[in-house]
Structure 1
């Protein structure tokens, strides 16, 4: 009789340590005062990925022209945005931090950070380093990848951790525009308005970028044409910010059942005289007014929390422009903010990073 073959014991892997989750949004001034706004603008615009011109030119442009002259005007607008809870971008960031920590549980340490100003990425990573975490997941709050947003977060995080003696596994979320729950969150918000009013047109307005930054991203120099190249989403253009925005619109349009010809993808918040990606939102609004469009529902799907660019630029300034162009009814769809579907999206992103 043969002896039974003994199987080696099954090894039990014990999880050691916790996972750090760094949630990173763009940033906001510490207050709407002129000095705090000027400080924020200087840090933000001096980032070489935001204004990608040589350092000396950028230094004199920002510190000699833009920050001194723009800060007082921007401070007035920030005062419109501010509430008793402060900046909505930071307020909702803090709420999401708490909610995500609660859902993920004790195996995770969740921290909110801002790419510019406070709470800083440096402070969040310093705390993670002291805790001796097993690994770190960095979640930039930008649905579509761009060098000036997600890329800047990557660079800042890597610049900090490169000096650590012990560097844990660091994982980055690149984009999440295709995530079903992210899409469903905006779909639910949009339907809330579409079921109570029949809008003549739907606008999907995304933050703009200089065309030169899109061209730089086309490393093969074979894809980007600022036109038909964004009509589909594929391996060759998947890293292009403009293409990602058009794909986001297609996903939302499909779920919302919006027919062709009744919606427009466009880009806002341009700065300076160099060409930015088109079409420009303000030009689209004027054209809609000239065509006799009287009611518009406006989405801002490049922002996950309400901020200056959504509440004021799209919600107030574009509303005034639309009415001046002959329109009657303009409605902004709010951002995801602390929507439960946004929390669920983040849970999925962290656990499958």
Structure 2
């Protein structure tokens, strides 16, 4: 029997923190019609005429803050480690390749390596715990577009999401326990944001999403593929592991782009409200990310921390992501062989 292939795909990162490389990355990322799901002409004018020219120099400065002289981008560094450790765990019967949806290593290059291996099967795992069209959906569409051109297509399967994966949940809880959550005034579960319109589109009934204030409180057939509902479920599972009561934590969403309404509440507003309420120390989990990146290392640890202190708070403590944890590698192994 031939080998079984596993393709891990994360979002991506610029090749360097230089403005030209950040511009190239943002242009590819934001021109994806699943990321900015509007009229193509309007999207091109918005991205190429406004967002990328103005955002690239600013984002380059932020990437410079987190870029390691030895390891480069933390997202790429930890993604490589995850792929290497998964390969070691699975053994010679498997071939593991890593790709980024945007920039390097590309999905095309990773698939070429897997194609050359004459695989019996291929399992694709997008490294986003919660499903969203703009992340997991974009990865799987790209993979299907490329593999559909192969003359011989192996048994192909995808991991839709792993928002409730027991090992992943325990891993986040384990990371959080090191900081003794009970000693903090409040805990935040901050997920990457999405435009509300994308949540509404994912509702097959068109009669559930955002119709009530608690539409994400439980997973149902109407919202089982909803990014926000899956995010709430992830947070509740981690909170249960930590014995947190509902009044001890808040679920919120960061990294908003543009003026359209995004998933609420916004993390930046929650941080301000808690500071004004007299909270001094906050512990922050970012369970939408399996590897530390700009959104965790800079946005939470530096940007939100500074804003919190300016409003009277003392400290925001980021709980590190899963990175190269053996527990998460085992979670990936189990997904790969399932």
TM-score (norm. length: structure 1): 0.94
Structure 1: how far apart are the matches of 2:206 and 2:39? 22
* Distance (Å, rounded) in 1 between the aligned partners of 2:127 and 2:302: 23
Moved over 6 A (4+): none
Partner of 2:18: 33
Q: Distance in 2 between matches of 1:227 and 1:126?
A: 46
Equivalenced residue count is 336
Equivalent in the alignment of 1:45: 30
- Correspondences of 1:131-146 after superposition (within 5 Å): 131-146=117-132
State whether residues 188 and 250 of structure 2, in contact with CA within 8 Å, keep that contact through their aligned partners in structure 1: yes
Corresponding residue of 1:177: 163
The aligned counterpart of 1:222 is 207
Deviation string 1:228-287 (CA, Å, 9 cap, x unpaired) is 111112232111111011101110110000122110000000000000010000110111
2:292 match? 306
Q: Distance in 1 between matches of 2:304 and 2:101?
A: 27
Equivalent position of 2:42 in the other structure:
57
The residue matched to 1:206 in structure 2 has which SS?
strand
Q: CA deviation at 1:65?
A: 1.1
- Secondary structure class of the residue paired with 1:228: coil
Determine whether 1:156 maps to 2:171.
no
Structure 2 residue 317 is matched with structure 1 residue 325: no
Tell me whether 1:248 sits opposite 2:234 in the alignment.
Answer: yes
Q: CA deviation at 1:61?
A: 1.1
Q: 1:161, 1:167 within 8 Å by CA — same for their partners in 2?
A: yes
Structure 2: state its 5+ residue gaps.
none
1:259-274 equivalence runs, <5 A: 259-274=245-260
Corresponding residue for residue 80 of structure 1: 65
SS in 1 for 2:183: coil
d(CA) in 2 for partners of 1:260 and 1:335? 22
Q: Which runs of 5+ in 1 are unaligned?
A: 1-15
In the other structure, the counterpart of 2:194 is 209
Range moving further from structure 2, 142-151 or 130-139: 130-139
Q: Counterparts of 2:323 and 2:280 in 1: how far apart (Å)?
A: 28
Q: Could you report, residue by residue, the CA deviation over 1:51-99 in whole angstroms, capped at 9, with x for unpaired residues?
A: 0011111111111111111100100000001002100111111111111
Normalized against structure 2, the TM-score is what?
Answer: 0.98
Give the superposed CA RMSD: 0.9
